[in-house]
Structure 1
Amino acid sequence: MKYLKIRWIAVLLVAVGTSFFFGFKSGDNRSFQVAKNLDIFNSIVKELDMFYVDTIDPNKTIRTGIESMLYSLDPYTQYFPEDDQSELEQMLKNTYGGIGSIITWNTKLKRSMIAEPYEHMPAATVGLKAGDILMEIDGKDLAGKNNQEVSEMLRGQVGTSFKLKVQRPGTEQPLEFDIVRRSIQLPFIPYYAMLDNNIGYINLSTFSGNPSKEFKQAFLDLKKQGITSLVIDLRNNGGGLLDEAVEIANFFLPRGKTLVTTKGKTKQASNTYKTLREPLDLEIPLAVLVNSATASASEILAGALQDYDRAVVVGNRTFGKGLVQTTRPLPYGGTMKLTTSKYYIPSGRCVQAIDYKHRNEDGSVGRIPDSLTTVFHTAAGREVRDGGGVTPDITVKQDKLPNILFYLVNDNLIFNYATEYCLKHPTIPAPKDFKITDADYADFKAMVQKADFKYDQQTEKILKNLKEMAEFEGYLTDASDEFKALEKKLSHNLERDLDHFSKDIKEMIAVEIIKRYYYQRGSIIQQLKDDKDLKEAVGILTAPEKYKEMLSVPPVKPDEGKKEK
């Protein structure tokens, strides 16, 4: 019956589309083209439904067509049908109904497992631990189901309950838990604290929901503790609501300042956002930490504070998302999130880095080259550019993670070691005091060796390609001795690599262990111990003259002001 109804609707759409097709005046070319192509699309669906050799699923077929059409525009314009509204709600409100845990895939057992329960959420409250293998939900075996399918089963309406069976490492019999789904609110501010030199630190993870309220409380609490400067950490913050970025910027900028201007096709899409309230603090020195995953609303906050010379931006160039999305209701309970405008920060620049309108012949898109960007100026007259995210005032060179670390993480060896470590250690010191000892690392190396761990070495691949090219061009015979010597030096040596890259590997192990006891807050504390971006921020905040100089226009040298005749 439902299928017949869908077919009837499709036929009706064809009829309606046809009436539009003949109803437009020949001079109204754009409307004609829209109606024409709608008619063609409806006819194709009808013909497929009636004559295709196999029975098609109309929902799946049309959904595929919709998604392909929208993706040809930009990756942010999306369709959410009625049964997929929870994903949109999580995106907008930073909440969902579930147990509050990240799950990951156990490649050996081919099952999902708990990777990280969130503090104070149902998973952690009932006693689920990282490493627990998910076996059954309400008696249904989860074997053969991927992470996405398991995640959908764990989520549901707030207040509903289910029985979860898990196999915990170190225990013989499976464990069962009765869990009640709750509204899962991901932390806006997973960690804030006063660091040395009376420097405040606030880690802001998202602009979805209402983070400005918690940010204000955190800042005022730090002020009571006696901070004299502040670091705002926006690294890996993918954005959220534009209004929230404006609200937080208003804490440090005077009332009446223009922060964002949006420009779109319609009047509703074009707006100007100004600071509407009295600020909390106009004088406290600020540093903002950013990286390549700092995007959207995060770039508005970082860019606005930079454009008004209110903060020193530290880190690496941001993602470059200068597009604004809004939601539009659709028939049958669906919703479309679509890009309606571009936003421009106070200097007048747009940070959008990718030009989706002008695609290459193969459909790919690329970043706008620096040579095509335009110079703008901050309030003090400092040069800034558009078209490529927010470029930091202080760029920090990041260390590249070793190749071996990727494979250790991908093979769950660090995760598995942390699980075994927790079975042997009921408690550990506070995050600021915890460290991986030489004995701990020796145990880890022994576990890796026992696991017969294998990984690709890029040098070996490149050397192999070089040999093939040398042979092709006739150089291999004369250079054979050199190649043999190089192969000997680059031979695979797991023991050597584990020792050579021990610092990075130990850091990853420590993070994985600490979050088992102190959750996300603990892992942040661990990562801040040797944080290059934070060190640079502290350096500039503890040097008042340098801080002031950095936010001012460099003085013009006598010869620079003269023009050649």
Structure 2
Amino acid sequence: MKKFIKKKYIAITAMFLFVGLLAFKPIDKYFEIAKSMELYAQVYREVNQNYVDDVSPSTVMKNGLDGMLKSLDPYTNYIPEDEIEDYRTQNTGQYGGIGVVSRTYKGKTIIVKYDKASPAYKAGLKIGDEIVEVDGINIQNKSTKEIDKIFKGQAGTKMSLMIARPGENTRKKFEVTRQNIKIQDVPYSGMLANEVGYIKLQGFTRTASKEVKEAFKKLKKEGMKKLVLDLRGNPGGLVIEAVNICNMFVGRGVEVVNTKGKVKDFNRGYKTMGEAMDLEIPVVLLLNGSSASASEIVAGFLQDSDRGIIIGQRSFGKGLVQIPRPLSYNSQVKITTAKYYIPSGRCIQAIDYSDHDAGALHDRMADSLKKPFKTKNGRTVYDGVGLDPDVPVKARKLALITTTLLEQGLIFDYVTAYVGKHKKIKPAKAFQLSNAEYQDFVQWLKGKQYSYTTKVEKSLKALAEKAKKEKTYSKIKAQIESVKKKMAASKAIDLTTFKAEIKQQLELEIVLRYYLEEGQIEATFERDKEVQEALKLFKNMARYRKLLAGK
């Protein structure tokens, strides 16, 4: 048996050596490759044979591969066979399932989102329902990843769900049939104001440009003459879909983006292939720090072409291109092969991963190192930091108490109770909680366990610990205790101090229950700073044109 194992590992080592020698031509690398592969195989063998506990060879191998690729950049990843389906879902937006988004909270799996087309909605499930069992298997205390795999499956197969519904003493059994679910790239489109249309784009799967074009046509019929394209929170996706969306606003044969890498075969330009849908319509793009990759291609192209104005915050800054490469046993490796460059010549990649020293810290490029480039009209734009907005809007940041109430599920739980008492509410755009209803929430919170530590409290604790070590604590003890009391008093009235934003989060969650995601998006418009700034700009078209002209 040991001879067989030894021969097996010699064969594996030989295979690694052969592949390594094929992949690298420079003669000075041959020895390093051979040495590294041999050592890896030897360590792998010794651990498998001699480690004190049983080990999973596949887990050890995956961790090794992950560690190797992690030293390159965050986007070069090994994808094992059991994760291939999730990777395909990212590109296609399609999967077999029941169409719910669930959250694991205190060991319970709660439905937090779905849409009207989902099997879950059609079967009668509700947001706030706890899924206790699936096909007789108790899923309490299972991870979100495990539960996601249970929910997904071939379209047409049935699932038996045991549900515990808040406010009801008995559990209910639901039969739900999985179907092919398509995650919408455009979850909402509509008119913001007279002549101003709005399209929310949240992904770039294979149907992104098709969905945007359909929404665009619909809005044009409703009288749209100006467009707000919302790319906030959009992490990107397929480059070709970004090119197709840009093609809506410029003619055929225009280069949107080009890619450059070490391998010449990966160097190419992406040009528009069709006729534009509208060459004149004024466009505003909304961006934030989570707008990345294909989102930045669309926004960057329209900015460089002086075809649109960006409002919001600086984008994420991902200018790297990945391609999947097939491996044995139905696995893949996704490799960063190139950087992309938009028409002005700039690359928006904000972090330099070229220093592969294991101890290197990857920081965003300092503003002082930015290089200037020019748009079509001669406006100055910069590389290496993502996309800077033409009209900056300060990012909203929720107070610590608000994030605590959200993260600990207290706003969610209160809304579940609220929905049980109210059969209907006003339309999404008009709905507001009264002051009396907010006070009801404050009363409901009494006796509920939630806590949070402010930055000031953390600093005080660190200061006290340092003072004790230096034996100077007695000198500042009185001042520290005084500040602690003031902080405690301040936190005691946080529900009043931050009433407006907590109230808004309650309203958004309530609207979601009655009108789902479309209603929730509509409910934000009046208090959405970026949307309001876009409307303000569209009322002053002289300023819009002046910004595009770089004046």
What TM-score, normalized by structure 1, do the two folds share?
Answer: 0.91
- Cα pair 2:259 2:338 within 8 Å, conserved: yes
Aligned twin of 2:29? 30
- Cα pair 1:111 1:146 within 8 Å, conserved: no
Aligned twin of 1:397? 394
- Cα pair 2:71 2:358 within 8 Å, conserved: no
- Cα pair 1:105 1:113 within 8 Å, conserved: yes
The partner residue of 1:518 within 512, 515, 518 is 515
Q: Compared with structure 1, are the counterparts of its residues 367 and 6 closer, same or farther at alpha carbon in structure 2 (3 Å cutoff)?
A: farther
One-letter amino acid matched to 2:422: H
Encode CA deviations 1:309-336: one digit per residue, 9 max, x unaligned. 1101000000000001111111111122
CA distance in 1, matches of 2:184, 2:18: 52
Task: State the SS of the aligned residue for 2:493.
Answer: helix
CA offset at residue 493 of structure 1?
A: 5.1
Aligned twin of 1:55? 54
Q: Given the alignment of the two structures, is residue 291 of structure 1 paired with residue 288 of structure 2, yes or no?
A: yes
- Cα pair 1:286 1:541 within 8 Å, conserved: no
- Cα pair 1:24 1:32 within 8 Å, conserved: no
Q: Compared with structure 1, are the counterparts of its residues 553 and 478 closer, same or farther at alpha carbon in structure 2 (3 Å cutoff)?
A: same
Of 134-143 and 361-370, more deviation after overlay is shown by 361-370
CA distance in 2, matches of 1:455, 1:25: 54
Q: Compared with structure 1, are the counterparts of its residues 383 and 175 closer, same or farther at alpha carbon in structure 2 (3 Å cutoff)?
A: same
Aligned twin of 1:152? 149
Q: Compared with structure 1, are the counterparts of its residues 262 and 456 closer, same or farther at alpha carbon in structure 2 (3 Å cutoff)?
A: same
Q: Compared with structure 1, are the counterparts of its residues 185 and 8 closer, same or farther at alpha carbon in structure 2 (3 Å cutoff)?
A: farther
CA offset at residue 537 of structure 1?
A: 1.1
- Cα pair 1:134 1:166 within 8 Å, conserved: yes
Q: Given the alignment of the two structures, is residue 429 of structure 1 paired with residue 429 of structure 2, yes or no?
A: no
Of 69-78 and 504-513, more deviation after overlay is shown by 69-78
- Cα pair 1:460 1:490 within 8 Å, conserved: yes
Task: State the SS of the aligned residue for 1:529.
Answer: helix
One-letter amino acid matched to 2:41: N
CA distance in 2, matches of 1:65, 1:21: 17
Of 6-15 and 349-358, more deviation after overlay is shown by 6-15
Task: State the SS of the aligned residue for 1:489.
Answer: helix
CA distance in 1, matches of 2:112, 2:8: 45
Task: State the SS of the aligned residue for 1:313.
Answer: strand
CA offset at residue 19 of structure 1?
A: 6.5
CA offset at residue 34 of structure 1?
A: 2.3
CA distance in 2, matches of 1:344, 1:55: 49
Alignment of 1:462-501 (within 5 A): 462-466=459-463, 486-492=483-489, 496-501=493-498
- Cα pair 1:21 1:39 within 8 Å, conserved: no
Aligned twin of 1:240? 237
CA distance in 2, matches of 1:96, 1:77: 24
- Cα pair 2:525 2:532 within 8 Å, conserved: no
Encode CA deviations 1:396-439: one digit per residue, 9 max, x unaligned. 01232111011111211100011001111122221011111112
What TM-score, normalized by structure 2, do the two folds share?
Answer: 0.94
CA distance in 2, matches of 1:446, 1:239: 43
Q: Given the alignment of the two structures, is residue 311 of structure 1 paired with residue 304 of structure 2, yes or no?
A: no
Q: Given the alignment of the two structures, is residue 104 of structure 1 paired with residue 103 of structure 2, yes or no?
A: yes
- Cα pair 1:20 1:35 within 8 Å, conserved: no
Q: Compared with structure 1, are the counterparts of its residues 368 and 21 closer, same or farther at alpha carbon in structure 2 (3 Å cutoff)?
A: closer
Q: Compared with structure 1, are the counterparts of its residues 551 and 349 closer, same or farther at alpha carbon in structure 2 (3 Å cutoff)?
A: same
Aligned twin of 2:257? 260
Q: Given the alignment of the two structures, is residue 461 of structure 1 paired with residue 458 of structure 2, yes or no?
A: yes
One-letter amino acid matched to 1:352: Q
Task: State the SS of the aligned residue for 1:105.
Answer: strand
CA offset at residue 186 of structure 1?
A: 1.1
CA offset at residue 166 of structure 1?
A: 1.4
Task: State the SS of the aligned residue for 2:365.
Answer: coil
Task: State the SS of the aligned residue for 2:73.
Answer: coil
- Cα pair 1:203 1:233 within 8 Å, conserved: yes
CA offset at residue 46 of structure 1?
A: 2.3
One-letter amino acid matched to 1:394: V
Task: Output the aligned Cα RMSD.
Answer: 2.7
Of 77-86 and 211-220, more deviation after overlay is shown by 77-86
Aligned twin of 1:325? 322
Aligned twin of 2:130? 133
Q: Compared with structure 1, are the counterparts of its residues 38 and 491 closer, same or farther at alpha carbon in structure 2 (3 Å cutoff)?
A: same
Alignment of 1:64-83 (within 5 A): 64-83=63-82
The partner residue of 1:224 within 216, 221, 226 is 221
The partner residue of 1:357 within 349, 354, 357 is 354
CA distance in 2, matches of 1:359, 1:534: 41
Task: State the SS of the aligned residue for 2:82.
Answer: helix
- Cα pair 2:21 2:30 within 8 Å, conserved: no
One-letter amino acid matched to 1:332: Y
Alignment of 1:177-256 (within 5 A): 177-256=174-253
One-letter amino acid matched to 1:445: V
One-letter amino acid matched to 1:65: G
CA offset at residue 356 of structure 1?
A: 1.3
One-letter amino acid matched to 2:205: S
- Cα pair 1:135 1:141 within 8 Å, conserved: yes
Aligned twin of 1:372? 369
CA distance in 2, matches of 1:23, 1:460: 58
CA distance in 1, matches of 2:357, 2:390: 32
One-letter amino acid matched to 1:84: E
CA distance in 1, matches of 2:281, 2:227: 7
Kindly, what percent of the aligned residue pairs are identical? 39
Task: State the SS of the aligned residue for 2:488.
Answer: coil
The partner residue of 2:536 within 539, 551, 554 is 539
CA distance in 1, matches of 2:267, 2:314: 27
One-letter amino acid matched to 2:259: T
One-letter amino acid matched to 1:82: E
CA offset at residue 501 of structure 1?
A: 0.4
Q: Compared with structure 1, are the counterparts of its residues 310 and 58 closer, same or farther at alpha carbon in structure 2 (3 Å cutoff)?
A: same
